[in-house]
A and B are shown apart, each in its own frame.
Chain A
Amino acid sequence: MKQAIYCRNLVKVYPGKPPVEAVRGVDLEIEVGECFGVLGPNGAGKTTTIEILEGLLPATSGDVEVLGRTWRDAGSEIRQNIGVSLQETRLSERISVRETLTLFRSFYKQGLTVAECLEQVSLTEKKNSWVKKLSGGQKQRLAVATAIIGDPDLLFLDEPTTGLDPASRRELWDIIRSFRERGKTIMLTTHYMEEAERLCDRVAVFDRGKVIALGTPRELIASLGAEHVIEFSAANTRGDTQSIPAQQLPWLSDLPTVDHVDSLGDQIRLTVEQPHMVLTELMNRLAEQRLQMTSLTTRHASLEDVFVSLTGRQLSGTSDSEN
């Protein structure tokens, strides 16, 4: 078979005054058996792109093929072979879990039995509960269950874990992984870095309607040139709320193994290869200038850092995306 998803030069413009260019020329090729993540801040065009691929929105221009077919020629065939979970669908509240799945199962020619599906999303015990009695995580698992009940070859999940607590999120990741282990293809959108890193074989980073980076999480992080991040802030005296900006510390980029220096609000972020070497030197230099370090964290570089280094903005942070 060809790719699970192929799209070339995808453009979506919402009419209006002025018209909104939600997607501005996106190319994607997703292989069969891959778990593919679409990553980006709100408004980056993730949902618009996935809904075009799901056949729910018409594209303004560009070519789209899903499972080797186009929506125009083989829409109903594609429908039988994909599963979709939308962002924030509210299923009927006074209908039980089992009844909901029986309903969705009736739409497909073939698929799982309701019992198999309940088993796969660990909702067997809740099968007779009304939807309104389910927790957020259980509701989301049910939403995924309605997407896999037709035993699709390709599964679309639009922000499957947004708003869930960490435990529920992990349960969903397990469901997605076991689906992938059966050789199926998944395309999911998320704005959680960790999710993309843990689940996805490849990731496309979206920003302002375009793909700004594409590759495995490891490749993308490696593209930073260094694998560790040091974030710190410094001030003239301890307790001083005024932090020193990076521009006043021009020597930062000369520290050993430093690859990148970024400012993020009060914080200065260094992307480095050897954190232990940088830290000793950093402490010494600050002490020479009689500056106090007011905060310090070090960690492995993540996709978050990739986004920051590509755009100069934080992906999920509050610093400038919500201003």
Chain B
Amino acid sequence: MGKISQSSLAQLSLTRLREFYRQPEAVFWVYFFPLLMVVALGIAFRNKPVEIITVDAVSSPAAVALAEDLAGDPRIVFKQFGEYDCKERLRTGRSDLYLNRASGRVDYFFDPTRPGSVVARDTVDNLLQRAAGRVDPVISANQEMTETGGRYIDFLVPGLIGMGLMGGGLWGVGYAIVDMRIRKLLKRFLATPMRKTDFLMAVMASRLVFMIPEMILLVIFSHYAFGVEVHGSWWVIVFLVLLGALQFSGIGLLVASRAKTLESVSGLMNLTMLPMWTLSGIFFSYERFPEVMQPFIKLLPLTPLIDALRAVMLEGAGLMMLGSQILTMAVWGVVSFSLALYWFRWTD
């Protein structure tokens, strides 16, 4: 017998890997779902400049002249309707703005809480003022910044990697543990001389093995599909992915350490992930949240991971610059693993 067949850690990890890749639907969800998400979000946020401004006007003889004034801006789609229809279209989001020109003045109707609506109002107002003869006293010119690294998709991909590691770690580990507990397999293992740390480490190790290719695939895909660049070192990315997978599988073990049913572990898992989904800056920067919340947000396990990934991918940061993030994640990993080992319920 070889070394591998004698090592419980290796055998337990192999078993987990086999269980995973022999289940094609699980492979699909783990490997393709994050890619689908990048494709969908990438397409949705790719070309922001060609955003269309839909402007309506209440039909009147004066409105015909408006069409000519607004024709200078290709983004504007201009239509005329009765007043009631104009109002309905604005209310239901089919237009950004409508205007009513009567007796020498223009009334703008728009929703000040909708960014598109506000932009439409200012754009249209500028065009009308200039058409009416306004001269701008300051000479201005536009320099467009659409270099790679500064686009939304560049910001988004590190966030999605972080989210994928969180979901994969928690679901992959938590679900598997509770399933084994329900099947009394944990109790069966307890009845052998198996070392408990071997088992828990194998669950984490097998997770890492799934996650690394998944995340590398994601980065490569977003490079070829959307031109997302990695400015820093790939080895640092791999290291961060490993560390992230490690801390989230540790947290997964902890969340699942006592749960007896799949329903209860699902609830606990969502409860654990909810603050990170909203606060950790997957889709937008967490600096938008109030100052008092910032220290708390930075302590959540997902925040340092995404911050570090962004620093490496967007700014080319090296390991030395990521000390605090790496430390936070390592502490989460070690503490959650140790607590899980202590709390773990082997019997039903």
Contact = CB atoms under 8 A, between A and B. Distances in A.
Contacts of B6: 106
B185 A90 contact: yes
B193 A76 contact: yes
**Could you say which interface size class chain A belongs to?**
20 to 34
Interface residues of B, number: 26
Nearest to B186: A89
Contacts of B14: 99, 103
B48 interface: no
Interface stretch (B15-23, B113-121, B238-246): B15-23
Nearest to A82: B191
A12 interface: no
A106 B14 CA distance: 12
Nearest to A104: B192
A80 B193 contact: yes
A89 B183 contact: yes
Contacts of A99: 14-15, 18
B190 A90 contact: no
A103 B12 contact: yes
Contacts of A107: 8, 189, 192-194
Nearest to A79: B193
Contact of A94 (B1, B19, B183): B19
A106 B185 contact: no
A103 B15 contact: yes
Query: In this complex, which of A76, A94, A103 has the most chain B Cβ atoms within 10 angstroms of its Cβ?
Result: A103
A109 B19 CA distance: 25
Interface string B9-44: 011101100110011000000000000000000000
Interface string A87-101: 011111011000100
Contacts of A108: 192-193
A316 interface: no
Residue with the highest number of chain B CB atoms closer than 10 Å, among A102, A109, A113, A146 = A102
B89 interface: no
A164 interface: no
Contacts of A109: 193
A56 interface: yes
A107 B188 CA distance: 12
A106 B8 contact: yes
Query: Main SS of chain A's interface residues?
Result: loop
A222 interface: no
B5 interface: yes
Contacts of B19: 92, 94-95
B130 interface: no
B23 A94 contact: yes
Contacts of B8: 103, 106-107
Report which residue of B187, B192, B194 has the largest number of chain A beta carbons within 10 angstroms of its beta carbon: B192
Contacts of A91: 183, 185, 188
Contacts of B10: 106
B233 interface: no
A86 B11 contact: no
Nearest to A105: B5
B198 to A, nearest CB: 9
Contacts of B191: 54-56, 79, 84, 86
B7 interface: yes
B184 interface: yes
B347 interface: yes
A202 to B, nearest CB: 24
Contacts of A76: 193
A150 interface: yes
Interface in A270-306: none
Interface string A53-95: 0111100000000000000000010011000101011111011
Indicate the member of A56, A86, A92, A106 with the most B CB atoms within 10 Å.
Answer: A106
Contact of B1 (A54, A89, A90, A113): A113
Contacts of A105: 5
Interface string A206-224: 0000000000000000000
A95 B12 CA distance: 12
A56 B348 CA distance: 11
B184 A88 contact: yes
A81 to B, nearest CB: 9
A106 B1 CA distance: 10
Contacts of A57: 347
B197 to A, nearest CB: 13
A91 B179 CA distance: 11
Contacts of A103: 8, 11-12, 14-15
Contacts of B194: 107
A89 B192 contact: no
Q: Which 5 A-B pairs have the closest CB atoms?
A: A84-B191, A90-B183, A94-B22, A79-B193, A106-B11
Interface of B: 1, 5-8, 10-12, 14-15, 18-19, 22-23, 183-185, 187-194, 347
26 contacts: A54-B191, A79-B192, A80-B193, A84-B188, A86-B188, A86-B191, A89-B185, A89-B187, A92-B15, A92-B19, A92-B185, A94-B18, A94-B22, A95-B15, A95-B18, A99-B18, A102-B5, A103-B11, A103-B14, A104-B192, A106-B6, A106-B7, A107-B8, A109-B193, A130-B22, A150-B193
